[in-house]
A and B are shown apart, each in its own frame.
Chain A
C-alpha cells in the first residue's frame, strides 16, 4: 500500500465562496467558455493531481436548497459537467475527469454510455460522481415526480429518513445499472470475423435484465465496454444512508469530517457499510472534503477570507470544514487526518484560479518534500492512479 496521499480538486464556477467571482484574478465573464475549463484542468494536471470533479445540478444555482433565490450578486448559470469533461479530455493526458451526474432525474442508459464515452475520449481517465437530488424545484424541471422538501425537514425525522432512503436506494439501483451496462459487452466482443461475416460475437453481449423497484433496464449497452472496464464511481456522503451508498456502490467516497476524531468515526462507518455490502475485499477510497483558502502566509489567507465574506455580506459556511492558512499548515492537517484512515482529499478551492494555484504550486511541492505525494504520473488511467485493478467482467464465462 502506497503511503502517498491522493489529491483532487473540486471545480465549480469561480470557486466555492459566493463572492469568489469578484476577486482580482477571477474570470467571471468566461465561466461558460471552454478556455476557462481547459486552463483550470491543465493547471490541476501540472500539479499531478489524481482527478478533478466538476460540479453540476439540474437547476440554477441558489442559496435556497428548495428552489431559485432570485439573487443577482452571485454566479448563476453553468454547463453540463459531462460535456465540460469531454471538452477538456483531448487537451489533457493524465488527470482523471469526474463530472457530476444527477441520478434522480436522468436515465442510467444515457449516462452509462456518456461516461463510457468519456472514458474513450480520455483514454481511460473517466469517472462519475453520482448525486441524488431532493430539490422540489429540480423535480419540477422534469415534471414526472414531486419530491418532499427535504431541506426544510428535520434530518432525524422518520419521514425524512424514509424519503432519503428511497432516493438513495434508487441511486444504488442506478449505479448497478451503470455497472452492468459497462459489463454488458465483454472486452473481446468485437471480433470482425471476415470468414463468417460477423462483426461481433453475440455470445459476448449480454442483456442486463435489471428489475428494480422504480425502473427496469434491458441492455445491452450500445457502447462497448470502456477502456477502464468500469470507470470510477464516486459519491459525496454526509450521513448514514449516503455512507451506505458509498459502501454498496462507489469506488470513491467524499466525506466531510469536522476534525480528526470525526474523520475516524466517518471512515469507520463507511468501512462498516462496505463490509455489510460484502465488499470488504475491494478498495473503496474515502477522501476528506475541505474548502480551502490558501496563501503564502496565514494572515493573508485570513484577510482574503474576511474580504470575501464582507463582499458577500455574510460569513462563509459549508458542509465541509473550511480551512484558512498556508499550504504547509494544510499539509500538516492532511497528514494528521490521514492517520484516521482517509486515503486522500478533495479540496474545494474557495476562489479560482487562486486557490487552485496554491494547491498546485504550494501544497503539492510541500507534500512532495514530505514524501507524501507523487512526483510524476505513474499510471495512465484513473483506476491506475487510484490503485484500483481493472475489474473482471461479471458476465464473462472464461
Chain B
C-alpha cells in the first residue's frame, strides 16, 4: 500500500539555520509573521505548525549569544491566537516537563484544545539544567538521569488530570437545573516521588481528550519514553540511512508496550531549498549555507564541541590542534545540541579526519557537518525524494524547517505540494476535524 506523506511546519527561530540577514526576512515575534506562516501551512494542508522552546537566552563564553535570532514569544499564547485565524492546522507547542507543573500544563493544553476545536499537540522536552533553572522561582533543576523519570511521571499525571473528565458530565440542562451530571467530575489524586497532588481538575474534557504527544529527545531513554507514551517523534534523522535505522529501532520498541507500528509517527526535521532546476537549487543552497554559517558562527559551533573559547582561531584556517575539554560543558549554555553531545573527543576525531581528507577550513567543515539541507532541487526532484523516503520507511513524513520567516514555506507549498498530490501520496483535503484525525492516529477511547 502506498503510504501517505505527513507534512508539518516548524516556525523558524533561534538557531543558525534561520537566516535573518536576508532582505526578505521578517520579524520572529510580530504576530503577523505567525499568521502568514500558518496560512501557508494550512494552504498546503499541513498537519500542524510547530513551535520550539527555549527558556533562557543562550550564552557563549560568558555573554549572551548574539549571532542567531534571539527571542521568541510564549508558546500557548501564540497558538491560542493562531487558533483564531486558522481552521484545520494543528497547533504544536514544545513545553518543558522540568520547569512546569502538571496541573497548569494540563489546563493549558486542555484550554488550547477547546479553543482550537481539537488541534492541540504537546512536544514534551526534558531540558533539565541549572542554567535554565535560574529563571524559575523553584530554582529547580534535575540530575540528568532524572529528566525522563520526571517527564514520564509528568505526562502520566497530566493524562490522569485530563482523564478525570469523561466528556459527558457537562449537561447544562436549563430545565432541570443540572449543570454537572457528576458531583465528582475532575477528581484526581496522584502521588509519587515528583508529584503529590490531589483535588479536582477544572477543565472539562476537550475535543481530543488529550493533546497529541510528541517527543524530541534522541537518547536511549528518550526513545524508550517515546515508544511507551508518544504519538509522534520529532527526530533529527532525516537522511535515508539514518532515518531507516531510527525508524526500525523505534518502531521495534512499540510491541513491548502493546502498541502497533502505526500508533507512533516518525517525523524528522527537514530543511529544503527549491529552484526552477536542480542546478539552480544547488547554487541557491550553497548561498544559504554560507549565510547560515559565517566565519564567526563556525567558530562558535566548534566551541560547542571543543568546550573552549576559540575566538583566537581563524575560521578560514585549519581545526585547532588542541583537543576538546571533556567534562562539564562551560562554554555554550542553553543549547540542546550541547546536552546531546556525549562524546566530544570522538566528534573531534571524526571532524579532523573529514577536514583532512577534503582539505576543509573550519568554516567549510562546519558548513559540511552542520547545515546540510535535506531537500535540494526542483519541485519535481524534492517531491520524488520525499515520496521515496516515506515509502522506504525512513520516516512517515517531515517537519519542514524553512530558513526564512515568514515566507519560507511558500515555495514548498506552491510547488512541491501539488506534485505530491499528483502522485497520490498527499491529501487534497483535510480528512478530519481534529489533529489526531488528520494524523491518522487511533481515536482515544473515553477514559475508564
Interface set of A (CB-CB < 8 Å, partner B) = 21-22, 26, 28-29, 31-34, 38, 57-61, 67-68, 70-80, 82-84, 86-91, 105-110, 113-114, 116-118, 120-121, 123, 137-138, 140-144, 185, 190, 192, 194, 197-202, 205, 214-220, 222-224, 311
Of B71, B77, B183, B186, the residue contacting A185 (CB under 8 A) is: B71
**Which of A87, A116, A200 is most buried by chain B, counting CB atoms within 10 A of its CB?**
A87
**CB within 8 Å for A123 and B31 given contacts A28-B179, A68-B199, A202-B63:** yes
B29–A223 contact, CB under 8 A?
A: yes
B73–A120 contact, CB under 8 A?
A: yes
**Which of B84, B85, B182, B296 is most buried by chain A, counting CB atoms within 10 A of its CB?**
B84
0/1 per residue, B48-69, Cβ < 8 Å to A? Answer: 0000001111000001101111
B137–A108 contact, CB under 8 A?
A: yes
**CB within 8 Å for A34 and B178 given contacts A58-B202, A205-B57:** no
B73–A220 contact, CB under 8 A?
A: no
- Between A and B, 25 residue pairs with Cβ closer than 8 Å are A29-B170, A32-B170, A32-B204, A34-B84, A59-B199, A76-B179, A83-B115, A86-B80, A86-B81, A90-B31, A113-B77, A117-B77, A117-B78, A120-B30, A120-B31, A121-B73, A121-B77, A143-B195, A194-B21, A197-B67, A201-B66, A217-B134, A217-B136, A219-B135, A222-B72
Closest 8 CB pairs of A and B: A215-B137, A28-B172, A80-B111, A86-B80, A117-B77, A218-B134, A83-B80, A117-B74
**CB within 8 Å for A76 and B180 given contacts A84-B111, A197-B296:** yes
Smallest CB gap from B22: residue in A: A194
Complex CA–CA separation, A205 to B115 (angstroms): 34
User: Hey, which chain A residues are within 8 Å of B348, CB to CB?
Assistant: none
Complex CA–CA separation, A327 to B346 (angstroms): 77
The smallest beta-carbon distance between B286 and chain A, in angstroms, is 19
A197–B20 contact, CB under 8 A?
A: no
Within 8 A of A (CB), among B278-297: 294, 296-297
Q: Tell me, yes or no, whether B101 is within 8 Å of chain A by CB.
A: yes
Q: Tell me, yes or no, whether B76 is within 8 Å of chain A by CB.
A: yes
A215–B139 contact, CB under 8 A?
A: yes
Q: Tell me, yes or no, whether B443 is within 8 Å of chain A by CB.
A: no
A121–B29 contact, CB under 8 A?
A: no
B77–A82 contact, CB under 8 A?
A: yes
A72–B180 contact, CB under 8 A?
A: yes
Complex CA–CA separation, A21 to B116 (angstroms): 23
Smallest CB gap from A201: residue in B: B66
Complex CA–CA separation, A222 to B21 (angstroms): 20
The smallest beta-carbon distance between A14 and chain B, in angstroms, is 9
Complex CA–CA separation, A312 to B56 (angstroms): 49
The smallest beta-carbon distance between B300 and chain A, in angstroms, is 10
**CB within 8 Å for A58 and B74 given contacts A72-B179, A141-B197, A222-B57:** no
Within 8 A of A (CB), among B396-434: none
A217–B135 contact, CB under 8 A?
A: yes
User: Hey, which chain A residues are within 8 Å of B35, CB to CB?
Assistant: 90
A78–B202 contact, CB under 8 A?
A: yes
User: Hey, which chain A residues are within 8 Å of B135, CB to CB?
Assistant: 109, 217-219
Complex CA–CA separation, A32 to B202 (angstroms): 11
User: Hey, which chain B residues are within 8 Å of A118, CB to CB?
Assistant: 77
Within 8 A of A (CB), among B216-261: none
- Interface secondary structure of B, over-half rule: loop
Complex CA–CA separation, A247 to B233 (angstroms): 50
Smallest CB gap from A198: residue in B: B66
B177–A311 contact, CB under 8 A?
A: yes
B204–A113 contact, CB under 8 A?
A: no
Of B20, B111, B116, B199, the residue contacting A141 (CB under 8 A) is: B199
Which of B102-110, B144-152, B322-330 has 4 or more CB atoms under 8 Å from chain A?
B102-110
A72–B137 contact, CB under 8 A?
A: no
User: Hey, which chain A residues are within 8 Å of B294, CB to CB?
Assistant: 197
**Which of A74, A79, A224 is most buried by chain B, counting CB atoms within 10 A of its CB?**
A79
Complex CA–CA separation, A60 to B174 (angstroms): 20
The smallest beta-carbon distance between A304 and chain B, in angstroms, is 15
Complex CA–CA separation, A144 to B63 (angstroms): 34
User: Hey, which chain B residues are within 8 Å of A77, CB to CB?
Assistant: 165, 170, 185-186, 202-204
A199–B112 contact, CB under 8 A?
A: no
User: Hey, which chain A residues are within 8 Å of B108, CB to CB?
Assistant: 80, 83
User: Hey, which chain B residues are within 8 Å of A123, CB to CB?
Assistant: 31
User: Hey, which chain B residues are within 8 Å of A185, CB to CB?
Assistant: 71
A83–B112 contact, CB under 8 A?
A: yes
Q: Tell me, yes or no, whether B100 is within 8 Å of chain A by CB.
A: yes
Complex CA–CA separation, A106 to B30 (angstroms): 25
A200–B70 contact, CB under 8 A?
A: yes
Complex CA–CA separation, A90 to B38 (angstroms): 14
Q: Tell me, yes or no, whether B336 is within 8 Å of chain A by CB.
A: no
**CB within 8 Å for A190 and B70 given contacts A120-B29, A214-B137, A219-B135:** yes
Complex CA–CA separation, A86 to B204 (angstroms): 20
Q: Tell me, yes or no, whether B83 is within 8 Å of chain A by CB.
A: yes
User: Hey, which chain B residues are within 8 Å of A80, CB to CB?
Assistant: 76, 107-108, 111-112, 203
Complex CA–CA separation, A202 to B66 (angstroms): 7
Smallest CB gap from B27: residue in A: A190
User: Hey, which chain B residues are within 8 Å of A78, CB to CB?
Assistant: 202-203
A222–B55 contact, CB under 8 A?
A: yes
User: Hey, which chain A residues are within 8 Å of B117, CB to CB?
Assistant: 34
**CB within 8 Å for A82 and B73 given contacts A70-B184, A141-B103, A199-B20:** no
Smallest CB gap from A57: residue in B: B202
Complex CA–CA separation, A137 to B199 (angstroms): 7
User: Hey, which chain B residues are within 8 Å of A70, CB to CB?
Assistant: 183-184
The smallest beta-carbon distance between B215 and chain A, in angstroms, is 22
Known contacts A21-B179, A77-B165; 14 further A-B pairs (Cβ under 8 A): A32-B114, A34-B115, A59-B199, A60-B200, A68-B200, A73-B177, A76-B185, A83-B77, A86-B80, A87-B80, A90-B84, A107-B99, A216-B139, A217-B135
Q: Tell me, yes or no, whether B446 is within 8 Å of chain A by CB.
A: no
Q: Tell me, yes or no, whether B37 is within 8 Å of chain A by CB.
A: no
Complex CA–CA separation, A59 to B106 (angstroms): 12
A22–B177 contact, CB under 8 A?
A: yes
Q: Tell me, yes or no, whether B181 is within 8 Å of chain A by CB.
A: yes
Q: Tell me, yes or no, whether B272 is within 8 Å of chain A by CB.
A: no
A79–B77 contact, CB under 8 A?
A: no
B70–A197 contact, CB under 8 A?
A: no
User: Hey, which chain B residues are within 8 Å of A121, CB to CB?
Assistant: 31, 73, 77-78, 81
A79–B114 contact, CB under 8 A?
A: yes
Complex CA–CA separation, A21 to B112 (angstroms): 23
Complex CA–CA separation, A143 to B194 (angstroms): 10
A190–B71 contact, CB under 8 A?
A: yes
B179–A73 contact, CB under 8 A?
A: yes
Complex CA–CA separation, A216 to B170 (angstroms): 41
Within 8 A of A (CB), among B319-352: none
A72–B178 contact, CB under 8 A?
A: yes
User: Hey, which chain B residues are within 8 Å of A28, CB to CB?
Assistant: 172, 174, 179
**CB within 8 Å for A222 and B196 given contacts A21-B179, A205-B64:** no
Complex CA–CA separation, A32 to B57 (angstroms): 35
Q: Tell me, yes or no, whether B375 is within 8 Å of chain A by CB.
A: no
